Structure 1
């Protein structure tokens, strides 16, 4: 079951045009145990969504961080809610073998290209193909108050800014009947905190 931080991350990406896959299992192989990636979020280059009668506006944090959502884009996320995070806590975005599994499961490219792609992701935090169709990056999602130990060069998305974005989006002009389509407990809590009656 997803914890609070994982739910925030899931809905942040969902409301920014991504298809989020939570707790994505990376199956055991070659004697290694199974593991999972907290979240893989995939977005198509021409994704659009209406909020009420207007087009939804994506959070500008993506462009600020150099995330290329104009391409078919995948973000591999480690989501942490604790007070401290170290390298051993974020294996799915810094461990070569786990990244190979994740990139292979995403399926943007032929399996023979994965070593090179993962090498780029480990070194630079992202990869994009020469044909400029696909983009993959990694991100750590955590609170602004989280203490990061030994994580120089790790790019994070603030859990706090995610929550602010979701609250703002859910306060926009949906038709009243639209609220009933959001069954998730976290989203219902946000809707009620914005003064909407969901009963």
Structure 2
């Protein structure tokens, strides 16, 4: 078990770093305020946008492009991807009521605040997101979707909102570990990064056996520091859309 005095990871920050390492620009803890005062209507753990030509490369090696988590994120070549992310710790992937209650109109308010659509199309986009979890526009090459992160995927969510992207902590942490270890030399000078990513880099070191990186050990150690019960690796479920580089 981790020492009680040891600084712990937080699920919201780990989710933030997963999306950041995949090229998303983000707003954390986005609050939907009421029009006439009073308590907040709801909040989104993360809102992020990834642009279609995103690449992280080394100019000395122009063909060496870091590979993002294309399959898990169901990324599509040439599209702008806007995500509204709901984070759970030990629960399965779930959407809170504000993202499924059409009468509350919270999705419309978030879309208006983001500004990715003409105001005249907010109702259309929100209706699709409420019904299935995804809005796409072929002409704009724009996708806006809900993403749920949790301890396990949910059959119920898949049935009620089939186009919501579900990610488990095993998937999220596996990608982070691979990225931090695989690019440890170019990303070595990262003193401006926050404490959470520094902790994850330390876990990468702990997860090494000799000169080998033990991916499953990294995941297990990170889960322990997050206070998440041990998980089995998720089954490989074919993506609804063929993933391609973005």
Is the TM-score greater than 0.5? yes
Q: What is the correspondence of 1:165-184 to structure 2 with a 5 Å cutoff?
A: 165-175=175-185, 178-184=188-194
1:113 corresponds, among 121, 128, 141, to 121
1:160 corresponds, among 161, 167, 170, to 170
Equivalent residue, structure 2, for 1:47: 54
Equivalent residue, structure 2, for 1:73: 81
Counterpart secondary structure, 1:171? helix
Write the distance in 1 (CA, Å) between the matches of 2:88 and 2:187. 34
1:101, distance to aligned residue in structure 2 (A): 1.2
Write the distance in 1 (CA, Å) between the matches of 2:70 and 2:10. 23
Write the distance in 2 (CA, Å) between the matches of 1:49 and 1:153. 36
- CA 50–176 in structure 1, closer or farther in 2 if over 3 Å, else same: closer
Unaligned runs of 5+ in 2: 1-8, 207-246
Q: What is the correspondence of 1:5-84 to structure 2 with a 5 Å cutoff?
A: 5-29=11-35, 33-34=39-40, 35-50=42-57, 54-62=64-72, 65=74, 67-68=75-76, 70-83=78-91
- CA 179–46 in structure 1, closer or farther in 2 if over 3 Å, else same: same
- CA 191–182 in structure 1, closer or farther in 2 if over 3 Å, else same: farther
Write the distance in 1 (CA, Å) between the matches of 2:185 and 2:93. 41
Unaligned runs of 5+ in 1: none
Instruction: List per-residue Cα deviations over 1:27-48 (Å, max 9, x = no partner).
Output: 2125673121111110111111
1:62, distance to aligned residue in structure 2 (A): 4.3
Q: Is the 8 A contact 2:22 2:69 kept in 1?
A: yes
How many corresponding residue pairs? 188
Q: Is the 8 A contact 2:94 2:150 kept in 1?
A: no
Q: Is the 8 A contact 1:93 1:139 kept in 2?
A: no
Write the distance in 1 (CA, Å) between the matches of 2:85 and 2:198. 24
1:93 corresponds, among 87, 90, 99, to 99
Q: Is the 8 A contact 1:43 1:69 kept in 2?
A: no
Question: 4+ runs of 1 displaced by more than 6 Å?
Answer: none
RMSD over aligned Cα atoms: 2.7
TM-score normalized by the length of structure 1:
0.81
